[in-house]
Structure 1
């Protein structure tokens, strides 16, 4: 297991080497209703050179990825029943300290004994002691090679950058997973920052859009149009006023670039 420092230009250059295959926040975010397994959105499968990548939406910013015999839980949240029937994780990625990303109650009920936690330092500082031996801390610009895959941490933050920002630069992580020949981008809670716009050769992207915590639909669409992922899933799209207009996001993106496969899935299946 090794961890190496990556500067942003090098990270971009690394991504460019691959060919694109288009195809509770404690104080902020409204808490979605807890989905059960019968209500989960159906999983998607995306072909890779080492077998299918299965994408299982859970709720809000939570997703489970399965590939090449490995299972990755991203920001486990929403209650243990939401994960019923899914394989125990080999890796848990957590993006930030807020309760819709670092949900200790959900974590406590999941089978995590053999999972590697990949987290920013701020999350590591808040994780219960029983997980500390399983933690690998990644700061922005660092990469971890383990379990036959690579994880790179990149910035996620609010604009403008202010001292009282809900998501200050450097505290949380967006992630890029290198799964065989595919690059998967998980935005975390961010706006359409320069680091996101500069991404290259992203095959699958998960992009947030909920005010006032991240970005609005137009910001998200323009950010996506800048880095041109092959597939994009709008997720984390419920804010103070309810779900964002993801249909408008799809329309805006595809009006400008029909090659981007915008996949709308129900991330709030128990919502009325």
Structure 2
């Protein structure tokens, strides 16, 4: 039964997730949605997994990760069961301190800890950690400022932004030169569609993927997000993809 379930999930993944290609220097960047806030990014011989979640079987057919970016401690970002099911012996894990403290030390090539506002160059790739947090900033916030990271990754002359679990914070609105953005929108954990669209209209990436859009009330209205962005920032390309193949 488990084998049949695994085969079914592989078939679903193959059918649901067509790769996107972004033109870049020395060849395209490949974008593949996996689930929720999980994405695989490939460029030349480099493969990056962002927030691996949903089970190792969802990565069937993917190249092994060279870099793994983890944004926060919550189970849909730091999912140890999924990590343990993948061969990450040759991967460098990039994570904030709060995540690094929870990672086993002997399963990965290395663990690189970076915090908000700092950068690291790994495998010829510059990775910058940005704040991600809830507003207003209160003591019992689900996502306090400084614990988790959003990331800007530079590949082939392009800058990719992964928001992590954030609201429409000043640090996001102040971004410049972003080519591809992945922006969350799931209440009550992050921001709503209107906030997300407003923030995107402010920092104006060339392209944006709404992702991480399942909350307690189901899936956010990404079509509304697209229409809002199209109205306020028509030069921003909004790409809608299926991040929830089981729905």
Do both proteins adopt the same fold according to a TM-score greater than 0.5, normalized to the shorter chain? yes
Are residues 241 and 215 of structure 1, via their aligned partners in 2, closer, same or farther at CA, if it must alter by over 3 Å?
same
Q: Aligned with 1:129: secondary structure?
A: coil
The whole-number CA distance in structure 1 between the counterparts of 2:115 and 2:56 is: 28
Pair 1:213-2:189 in alignment? yes
Match of 1:176 among 146, 152, 169: 152
Structure possessing the higher relative contact order (Cα contacts under 8 Å, 6 or more residues apart): 1
The whole-number CA distance in structure 2 between the counterparts of 1:105 and 1:36 is: 20
Tell me, yes or no, if the aligned pair for 1:36 and 1:84 is still in contact at 8 Å.
Answer: no
Are residues 237 and 215 of structure 1, via their aligned partners in 2, closer, same or farther at CA, if it must alter by over 3 Å?
same
Q: How does 1:68-79 map to 2 (within 5 A)?
A: 68-79=44-55
Length, aligned pairs only = 239
Gaps of 5+ in 1: 1-32
**Deviations, residues 61-88 of structure 1 (Å, cap 9, x unaligned):** 0000000210000000011111000000
Aligned to 2:38: 62
Aligned to 1:225: 201
Tell me, yes or no, if the aligned pair for 2:119 and 2:128 is still in contact at 8 Å.
Answer: yes
Gaps of 5+ in 2: 1-8
Q: CA deviation at 1:50?
A: 2.0
Aligned to 1:30: none
Q: TM-score, normalised by structure 2?
A: 0.94
Aligned to 2:21: 45
Q: Aligned with 1:233: secondary structure?
A: strand
Q: Aligned with 2:231: secondary structure?
A: helix
Q: TM-score, normalised by structure 1?
A: 0.85
Q: Aligned with 1:221: secondary structure?
A: helix
The whole-number CA distance in structure 2 between the counterparts of 1:169 and 1:101 is: 16
Give the alignment's Cα RMSD to 1 decimal: 1.4
Q: Aligned with 1:107: secondary structure?
A: helix
The whole-number CA distance in structure 1 between the counterparts of 2:61 and 2:12 is: 10
Aligned to 1:251: 227
Q: CA deviation at 1:34?
A: 9.7
Pair 1:160-2:133 in alignment? no
Tell me, yes or no, if the aligned pair for 1:39 and 1:270 is still in contact at 8 Å.
Answer: no
Pair 1:195-2:168 in alignment? no
Pair 1:98-2:74 in alignment? yes
Tell me, yes or no, if the aligned pair for 1:34 and 1:78 is still in contact at 8 Å.
Answer: no
The whole-number CA distance in structure 2 between the counterparts of 1:113 and 1:40 is: 28
The whole-number CA distance in structure 2 between the counterparts of 1:210 and 1:67 is: 29
Runs of 4+ in 1 over 4 A off after TM superposition: 33-36
Tell me, yes or no, if the aligned pair for 1:173 and 1:188 is still in contact at 8 Å.
Answer: yes
Q: CA deviation at 1:131?
A: 3.7
Q: CA deviation at 1:36?
A: 4.5
Aligned to 2:124: 148
Q: Aligned with 1:251: secondary structure?
A: helix
